[in-house]
Chain A
Amino acid sequence: MTGLSPDASMPPSEDSADDGLFVYGVVRAETDHHADGLTGIHGSSVDLIVGGSIAAAVTTVALGEPPRRRADLLAYQSVLDALHSAGPVAPVQFGSVLWDASTVLEEMLLPHEDEFNAILDRLDGKQQYNLRASFVEEAVLAELVATDPEVAALRERTRNQPEMASYPERVRLGELVARGLEDRSADEAEVLWAAIEPLTVEHRVRTPPSAQQVLDVALLVEEGRSSDLLERLEDLAEAVHERVRMRLIGPIAPFDFVGEDGWV
């Protein structure tokens, strides 16, 4: 931890006008989250504010010191991952600070208890993974040159010319290459996805296929099927590794599978 101010060690005082409550997310009240063992934003403790059947995980922060440093982002994510390992959690967007415990309770938890419960039920027993597949650019460019005569010809004409002399041809070459990559990207995304989707419960496309990236997708997976998914992805990654690189992050808290339910 770097750059900690003396304030970080101050005891929580929710009544103070200078303090607020940084909210990480919402969990089931009945689950034992061992929240007292967690270290949150600014190195402070993580508390649970219980409202009915649900609870908000919070940390007291000084309002003059918005949590926006590197360590805060990392703490936010690691607290949510820790909560997630104990039971379902609905992450709240980073940077949500409420005035005090009664605001959390009366404005956030109690009026939306049913909605939160519905989200937690949906996420129970599931894990998020973020999957990316991107082209090994040189391999795929070489394919384009080999299969598209116009690309090959333009490349021949432009590669040893001064840039300004061949500007229109370079733009044309780049455009053809971009189109070619986009087409391939869309095709391969479809093929890869067909092999992956059956192992997922839900997914969110984070970025649609593009010239540079084949897949960028968040997967929601039953915990019991995670090892199947990993095995499948490993096989796929090996099969396509000469042209496509696959990168998987997770399991993480289900950041991509909340928030579409509107504002709370």
Chain B
Amino acid sequence: MTVQTQRRSGGGYLERPAPSGLADVIEIILDKGIVIDAYVRVSLVGIELLTIDARIVIASVDTYLRFAEATNRLDLYEHGGKDLSEMVGDLQQSGASGKTQGAVQGVKRALGVGHSDDDDDDEDERERRPVKKSANRRRSEQR
């Protein structure tokens, strides 16, 4: 069974969402803007909800375990052994394998600088979005 690689035509690789969702807007305005001195401001209960600690601590054992799990879950061709649902998912999501190139080569090519030697690693690459979500970082902070 062959599956055509799906390429979006006419660019479109740069995602340009309209910032309409709440998460997008919070991300844009979080902790931003000119700060007005507290003694001029009315202090309102609950209004500081946007003073949020958005920093995510990364170097923890939990994160390591997550990376280990993600690495172990990889479906590299040489290992096979996928179950049916994964196979179907793969076919629906992308299909053909392609070249994996470093950003350096890719960027140079995009800018028309130098030339690159292609490394044709046949690796399973799927067009799936990272499962990362930034929604859980809201934490109200009392002042």
Contact = CB atoms under 8 A, between A and B. Distances in A.
Interface string B57-86: 011010111111111101010000000000
20 contacts: A20-B42, A91-B29, A95-B44, A139-B125, A142-B74, A154-B68, A178-B63, A187-B104, A195-B111, A211-B58, A234-B14, A237-B14, A238-B110, A240-B103, A242-B98, A242-B101, A248-B15, A255-B32, A255-B33, A264-B36
A137 to B, nearest CB: 5
B64 A95 contact: no
Contact of B36 (A93, A135, A136, A155): A93
Which of B33, B41, B104 counts the most A-chain CB atoms under 10 A from its CB?
Answer: B33
B132 interface: yes
A142 B28 contact: no
A73 interface: yes
Given A136-B130, A138-B125, A261-B34, A242 B100 contact: yes
A139 B70 CA distance: 11
Given A171-B68, A178-B67, A255-B28, A248 B16 contact: yes
A158 B74 CA distance: 13
Contact of A259 (B35, B46, B48, B68): B35
Interface residues of B, number: 69
A95 B47 contact: yes
B117 interface: no
A33 interface: no
Interface residues of A, number: 89
Interface in A193-247: 195, 207, 210-212, 230, 233-247
B100 A74 contact: no
Contacts of A107: 37, 40
Given A73-B25, A74-B22, A77-B28, A67 B47 contact: yes
Given A66-B47, A97-B47, A263-B35, A191 B25 contact: no
Contact of A239 (B26, B45, B110): B110
Interface of A: 20, 23, 25-26, 63, 66-68, 70, 73-74, 76-77, 90-99, 103, 107-108, 119, 130, 134-139, 141-146, 151, 154-155, 158-159, 170-171, 173-175, 177-178, 181, 187-188, 191-192, 195, 207, 210-212, 230, 233-249, 252, 255-256, 258-259, 261-264
B74 A141 contact: yes
Contacts of A237: 13-15
B65 A170 contact: yes
Contact of B104 (A26, A96, A191, A233): A191
A20 to B, nearest CB: 5
Given A108-B36, A264-B35, A143 B123 contact: yes
A263 B131 CA distance: 38
B36 A141 contact: no
A242 B112 CA distance: 19
Given A245-B129, A246-B15, A146 B42 contact: no
A247 B17 contact: yes
Contacts of A236: 14, 106-107, 110
Of all A-B residue pairs in the complex, the 5 with the closest CB atoms, nearest first, are: A174-B64, A239-B106, A239-B110, A93-B33, A174-B68
